[in-house]
Structure 1
Amino acid sequence: MSIIYEKYMELKSKNQIKKLHKIVEKINALEDTYKGLTDDQLRMKTSALKESLQNGKSMEDIRPHAFALVREAAKRTIKQRHYDVQLIGGLVLSEGNISQMQTGEGKTLVASLPSFLFALHGKGVHVITSNEYLAKRDFELIGQIHRFLGLEVGLNLSEMDTEEKKQAYLCDITYGTGNEFGFDYLRDHMVNQPSEKVQRGQAFAILDEIDSILIDEARTPLIIANKSGASIELFEITSMIVKSFKKGEEIEVDLPSRQVHLTEKGIERIEKTFGVDNLYSTDHQVLFHYINQSLQAEFILRRDVDYIVKEGKIELVDAFTGRVMDGRNLSHGLHQAIEAKEGLEINEENVTQATVTVQNYFRMYSILSGMTGSAIPAQKEFMDIYYLDVVEIPTNRPKRRKDEPDLIYQTLNQKYKRIADEVKHISETGRPVLIGTTSIHQSEMLSAYLKKAKVTHQLLNAKTEEQEAKLIAMAGQRGQVTISTNMAGRGTDILLGEGVAKLGGLHIIGTERHESERVDMQLRGRAGRQGDPGSSQFIVSLEDDLLNQYDDEELEKWLKKMKADETGLVISPDPRKFMDKVQETIENQHFSGRVHLLKLEDHLDQQRKAIYGIRNTLLDSEELSSSLIEQFRTVYQETLDELCPPNKTPEEWDTPALYMKLQSIFPLSTDAASLAGREREDIEDMLEKDVNAYLLGLSKVDEDESIAQQARSFSLSLLDQAWIAHLDVMDELKEGIHLRSYGQEDPYRLFQLESHHSFEEMLKEYRHALFAKIQFILPNTQEMEGIQS
């Protein structure tokens, strides 16, 4: 992000704060008025505000009163009063933007303001948290304010059944995780009865830790999958083959983009092993897919970083929290490839039934807003992809945290020794220390060094969300030393124990620069909340994972100039400046990856919406006949266009094929021979009687409930099958996108063209399959035509 752009956004943010201060003055002026009202009178104000909206007032018109009302309700229920800066944060959210607020500034209380305002519309507000523990906590705490004001508040949890979820979504405000809201959206488009749906649309969303959800998790699509019965033996074979591959010989590895590519030598080895002449031909797509997944498992995914092996099973690790993700599997055979790599029993591969990216799910909301302590570094991405402005909210009290400059060592061993010495020295003074790591493996390594230095400490590995929150909350107590993955316990305040402020407050040590500056900001922000004293420092090394992702040649050049002291501490050239450059480069590569994904997914998203639109019409419409008639006219014309093309003469047309194809979807009273050699207009005249008879039968579908139900069931089932098959084709197409840049052609344009063609063909096949089935459940159309005559 350029300095000019940063300065422009900073100035824009300050101007917005000035404007919002005027609204805060209006809210403050109403405080005494609302203080004098009884509880019942406050509740009546909620009804009055709803009425105002219905009578044409805008949200901006009623906002000061809504915020003043919530502030008074908060004082009476949870004994907390919104500070002016919290009101500003709420105003930013109410305008559909992002409030950047420092850790400990009360983001949870801030969300109570716009969620109440949005809820007055009656369309449902979704408040998104990063985990279910926080969703329960906020539902219980902030829910008191809204229930007091007469609103209904719901909680959406993964273990809930359909009826419980439906009730949660019917509430004015519903709490839950982004994943659960997204999965419910997908499940709603897999049901067979309208009554099985749980959501009522995407109107308003407020995201806590918005950068974590919309950026860090943006490359991980939400997928609902079933077993496929794919070849387990082929996974074992391809895994064994790629184990012998070497970087720079058979493969090229690009760690920043997490991609592995075969070299010419690698391609030759595979083609020779399997006896194929062209690995990239359509005949060998399945083999190519298995090879790709085995390469990814072998050279990109790391044990004890991306996953752990526990009791003979692969358990995935959340890269941002370090927590094991129970029950989660990688899709498209990647999970099975890891099982083969580790020599475990290989389970059946999953086939995608429904999928949506986090980006495209949240872009469906009419108003999207959120809060975080670290949005500024990503403000361009927020604007480019989500059209969200970032406004930096002033702190309630001046910041007193001291951020010390990084210490950069040559080796991991030197780094860990320095951290152990630093922790021992600081903890002996009674100051608490929180150490942030980037993986479970790193946490365990550091723990071993601290044990050797005889430093008592708490290790937060593989804890539940609730345990994490409790242990993180205790990290500010006198003499406490806590090792945690950077994002563990995010959303939980660390309160200082008695006397700790006088000692200098909590000290944060970062053991590795993260791929994103935002995560480093979040870690530093754990200290110095609400004007408390505190400090932070990163102690890192040149052997950290971050540098493995950097350009080898650039790194080599810098290392040749590098000088260090006798402890291994790098002195020159400026190591901090170099680490900033490395981090920025990798962050830009990840941004490019998200843009790449979005370019591909945007086209698929349009197709998804089209399919879900057809599905909703089939599901919700009481007049199924009109939909079937429209689809039949389409498939009939498509068949004529395909087999009676205008660029050929009637003698060249394949009339036997035309007859066979038409007869498979509706009864014909003529024979194939009578169609031969005729003009298209003559053929259509000959078929008109049979077509009209069939259309008459379709028009009567709604009159027989049993037939209508069967027709609807056929339609939904066949559409779902067609969509699932199409998703599989799209996965293969996306997988090979890097190979599709032929000559000067744009690979995205090629993807768009091929995916569109595949989509249109899928719809044709669906319509044909549908009428091939439906003709057998319709009333006797010939008899009906006779009656009508």
Structure 2
Amino acid sequence: MLNGLKKILGLDANDRALKRYSQTVNEINALEEEVAVLSDDDLAREIAEMRRRVVEEGQPLDEVMCRVFAIVREAAKRTLGMRHFDMQVMGAIALHEGKIAEMKTGEGKTLVATMPVVLNALKGKGVHVVTVNDYLAKRDAEWMGKVYRFLGLSVGVIYPFMSIEERREAYEADITYGTNSEFGFDYLRDNMAILPSQLVQRGHHYAIVDEVDSILIDEARTPLIISGPSEESVEPYKVADRIAKSLTVNEDFEIDEKEKNVALTEAGIKRCEKILGIEDIYAEVETSELLHKIVQALKARYLFKRDVHYVIKDGEVVIVDEFTGRLMYGRRYSDGLHQAIEAKEGVRIGRENQTLATITLQNYFRMYEKLAGMTGTAATEAEEFNEIYGLEVVVIPTHKPMIRRDFPDIIYRSKREKFAAVADEIKECYERRQPVLIGTTSIENSEKLSKLLS
């Protein structure tokens, strides 16, 4: 009711923004015929001239925005056979203003980004386009790269296992595509560099983040960590494992399966002190650290199961991803847990890693002078975006009337009821010969649902 009243009184911020964007779209559309008669070389020359004025004379980007957007639209028509719809141009304006454009799936967000990317690349400081995986980064850089190269701009893409020279070259380009983690890890590596020649990034001017709710909200607190082996001996892990074998559950320690935690009881601590032949295990740093290793050894024995949480392959402990079931080569449990599992399994114990550099995705993206994003679902998290990043969300209408029906979420009192309802829904789909894709959050849930369906 309150939202309806705001709209009637003209107080709705989203409506006001769309009204303003609509006027700008009309100005851009008015230039379409004029730009259409220009040759390919003329279009590239215009972009080069505007770039010169922006860099050398300090002309504001807003003054050349309409002309640049009209040229990008024409370039997309000639290279991709695609013309930006008015709603896509609105989304582009929101992105240039450093806002989040919420656009429904299928509205062509990949094409939308080309306009603000070209405009902000005129400053010559580099524009970063952040995608959710390496495939999309390469695909979009190649696909939309046709528009950028047509206008005389260079495009780079960063992906795993590139050399320093290749990375630096990708960052020197006017536009650089890559995943959030690649950008973040390059920043960490630059901070660890000893010589200027080892640096690859050249600042954080402007970034457009695709699937912005996933990267800036869901994964925001995910730390990116670069670690290296410590100098500590691995012998204490073997000692801890021998002691863990002799302790009794409930008497010496308690297990919290839900929290995946183990806690030693008073009797358990005394038992450890007796085995080690010391009076107070907390008196020395070395012995108190050994107590922590004993707890990790107990976790390894009672909470982590072979061929469920990890497998032994070629004499190494390899973690199994609980969501996909894939083997995670090169990944190790932290805080001494991986070493505890290695001691339990009797394989070679690797040295514990120490953190050399770390940053969260949230803190990394807050470094950009201007940040923008696009996604199909942002309005529900608008408050968080505003509080954490100072980002406004603009909901862009669809190009054509929406015919898909988006049903509200259904909430169940218990997991049992939820899974039973899911099984019923699948059965109905099966009976009307409708294919159905079932996505769960873990292998355990997939197996639970599989048993229900069987």
Question: Which residue in the other structure is 1:89 paired with?
Answer: 91
1:435 aligned counterpart, secondary structure: coil
Question: Which residue in the other structure is 2:78 paired with?
Answer: 76
Structure 1 residue 283: deviation in Å? 5.9
Q: Which amino acid letter does the alignment assign opposite residue 269 of structure 1?
A: G
Q: Which amino acid letter does the alignment assign opposite residue 179 of structure 1?
A: S
Question: Which residue in the other structure is 2:396 paired with?
Answer: 393
Tell me how far apart the structure 2 counterparts of residues 442 and 62 of structure 1 sit (CA, whole Å): 54
Question: Which residue in the other structure is 1:179 paired with?
Answer: 181
Structure 1 residue 174: deviation in Å? 0.7
* Residues 544-603 of structure 1, C-alpha deviations (whole Å, 9 max, x = no match): xxxxxxxxxxxxxxxxxxxxxxxxxxxxxxxxxxxxxxxxxxxxxxxxxxxxxxxxxxxx
Larger gyration radius, structure 1 or structure 2? 1
Structure 1 residue 231: deviation in Å? 4.5
Q: Give unmatched runs, 5+ long, in structure 1.
A: 453-789
1:602-621 equivalences under 5 Å are none
- Give 1:126's match in structure 2, choosing from 115, 125, 128: 128
Question: Any conservation in 2 of the 1:280–1:288 contact (CA below 8 Å)?
Answer: no
Question: Any conservation in 2 of the 1:70–1:116 contact (CA below 8 Å)?
Answer: yes
2:289 aligned counterpart, secondary structure: helix
Alpha carbons of structure 1 residues 407 and 386: separation in structure 2 relative to 1, 3 Å: closer
Alpha carbons of structure 1 residues 410 and 223: separation in structure 2 relative to 1, 3 Å: closer
2:106 aligned counterpart, secondary structure: coil
Alpha carbons of structure 1 residues 186 and 145: separation in structure 2 relative to 1, 3 Å: same
Question: Which residue in the other structure is 2:40 paired with?
Answer: 39
Tell me how far apart the structure 2 counterparts of residues 58 and 333 of structure 1 sit (CA, whole Å): 54
Tell me how far apart the structure 2 counterparts of residues 138 and 195 of structure 1 sit (CA, whole Å): 29
Tell me how far apart the structure 2 counterparts of residues 322 and 116 of structure 1 sit (CA, whole Å): 41
Tell me how far apart the structure 1 counterparts of residues 166 and 131 of structure 2 sit (CA, whole Å): 19
Question: Which residue in the other structure is 1:139 paired with?
Answer: 141
Q: Which amino acid letter does the alignment assign opposite residue 11 of structure 1?
A: D
Question: Any conservation in 2 of the 1:322–1:438 contact (CA below 8 Å)?
Answer: no
Structure 1 residue 122: deviation in Å? 0.6
Tell me how far apart the structure 2 counterparts of residues 419 and 402 of structure 1 sit (CA, whole Å): 18
2:331 aligned counterpart, secondary structure: coil
Structure 1 residue 379: deviation in Å? 2.5
2:265 aligned counterpart, secondary structure: helix
Tell me how far apart the structure 2 counterparts of residues 267 and 87 of structure 1 sit (CA, whole Å): 67
- Give 1:439's match in structure 2, choosing from 418, 442, 451: 442
2:192 aligned counterpart, secondary structure: coil
Q: Which amino acid letter does the alignment assign opposite residue 151 of structure 1?
A: L
* Residues 643-688 of structure 1, C-alpha deviations (whole Å, 9 max, x = no match): xxxxxxxxxxxxxxxxxxxxxxxxxxxxxxxxxxxxxxxxxxxxxx
Structure 1 residue 335: deviation in Å? 3.4
Structure 1 residue 133: deviation in Å? 1.0
Question: Which residue in the other structure is 1:228 paired with?
Answer: 230
Question: Which residue in the other structure is 1:269 paired with?
Answer: 268
Alpha carbons of structure 1 residues 359 and 408: separation in structure 2 relative to 1, 3 Å: closer
Alpha carbons of structure 1 residues 89 and 201: separation in structure 2 relative to 1, 3 Å: same
Question: Any conservation in 2 of the 1:202–1:364 contact (CA below 8 Å)?
Answer: yes
Tell me how far apart the structure 2 counterparts of residues 376 and 285 of structure 1 sit (CA, whole Å): 49
Question: Which residue in the other structure is 2:69 paired with?
Answer: 67
Question: Which residue in the other structure is 1:496 paired with?
Answer: none
2:391 aligned counterpart, secondary structure: coil
- Give 1:361's match in structure 2, choosing from 355, 364, 374: 364
Structure 1 residue 161: deviation in Å? 0.8
2:12 aligned counterpart, secondary structure: helix
Structure 1 residue 331: deviation in Å? 3.7
Structure 1 residue 136: deviation in Å? 0.9
Question: Which residue in the other structure is 2:318 paired with?
Answer: 314
Question: Any conservation in 2 of the 1:228–1:349 contact (CA below 8 Å)?
Answer: yes
- Give 2:351's match in structure 1, choosing from 341, 348, 353: 348
Q: Which amino acid letter does the alignment assign opposite residue 97 of structure 2?
A: E
Tell me how far apart the structure 2 counterparts of residues 99 and 322 of structure 1 sit (CA, whole Å): 35
1:354 aligned counterpart, secondary structure: strand
1:207-246 equivalences under 5 Å are 207-235=209-237, 238=240, 241=244
Tell me how far apart the structure 2 counterparts of residues 384 and 396 of structure 1 sit (CA, whole Å): 30
1:353 aligned counterpart, secondary structure: strand
Tell me how far apart the structure 2 counterparts of residues 436 and 105 of structure 1 sit (CA, whole Å): 24
Question: Any conservation in 2 of the 1:127–1:207 contact (CA below 8 Å)?
Answer: yes
* 1:406 equivalent in alignment to 2:407: no
Question: Which residue in the other structure is 1:689 paired with?
Answer: none
Structure 1 residue 29: deviation in Å? 1.8
Tell me how far apart the structure 2 counterparts of residues 296 and 81 of structure 1 sit (CA, whole Å): 58
Alpha carbons of structure 1 residues 13 and 283: separation in structure 2 relative to 1, 3 Å: farther
2:51 aligned counterpart, secondary structure: helix
Tell me how far apart the structure 2 counterparts of residues 369 and 405 of structure 1 sit (CA, whole Å): 28
Question: Which residue in the other structure is 1:12 paired with?
Answer: 13
Structure 1 residue 13: deviation in Å? 2.8
Question: Any conservation in 2 of the 1:223–1:356 contact (CA below 8 Å)?
Answer: yes
* Residues 227-284 of structure 1, C-alpha deviations (whole Å, 9 max, x = no match): 224454544565674995569x8477885xx8x585xx63663354134636497565
Alpha carbons of structure 1 residues 344 and 41: separation in structure 2 relative to 1, 3 Å: same
1:370 aligned counterpart, secondary structure: strand
Tell me how far apart the structure 2 counterparts of residues 204 and 135 of structure 1 sit (CA, whole Å): 17
C-alpha RMSD over aligned residues: 3.6
1:322-337 equivalences under 5 Å are 325-337=328-340
Question: Any conservation in 2 of the 1:331–1:351 contact (CA below 8 Å)?
Answer: no
Q: Which amino acid letter does the alignment assign opposite residue 190 of structure 1?
A: M
Tell me how far apart the structure 2 counterparts of residues 192 and 335 of structure 1 sit (CA, whole Å): 31
Question: Any conservation in 2 of the 1:308–1:315 contact (CA below 8 Å)?
Answer: yes
Structure 1 residue 130: deviation in Å? 1.1
Tell me how far apart the structure 2 counterparts of residues 70 and 193 of structure 1 sit (CA, whole Å): 39
1:434 aligned counterpart, secondary structure: coil
* 1:114 equivalent in alignment to 2:113: no
Tell me how far apart the structure 2 counterparts of residues 333 and 316 of structure 1 sit (CA, whole Å): 18
Report how many residues are paired. 437
Question: Any conservation in 1 of the 2:379–2:393 contact (CA below 8 Å)?
Answer: yes
Tell me how far apart the structure 2 counterparts of residues 431 and 291 of structure 1 sit (CA, whole Å): 53
Structure 1 residue 224: deviation in Å? 1.5
Tell me how far apart the structure 2 counterparts of residues 323 and 229 of structure 1 sit (CA, whole Å): 31
Q: Give unmatched runs, 5+ long, in structure 2.
A: none
Q: Which has the higher helix share?
A: 1
TM-score (norm. length: structure 1)? 0.50
Tell me how far apart the structure 2 counterparts of residues 366 and 35 of structure 1 sit (CA, whole Å): 34
Question: Any conservation in 2 of the 1:100–1:375 contact (CA below 8 Å)?
Answer: yes
Question: Any conservation in 1 of the 2:168–2:201 contact (CA below 8 Å)?
Answer: yes
Q: Which amino acid letter does the alignment assign opposite residue 270 of structure 1?
A: I
Question: Any conservation in 2 of the 1:136–1:155 contact (CA below 8 Å)?
Answer: yes
Question: Which residue in the other structure is 1:378 paired with?
Answer: 381
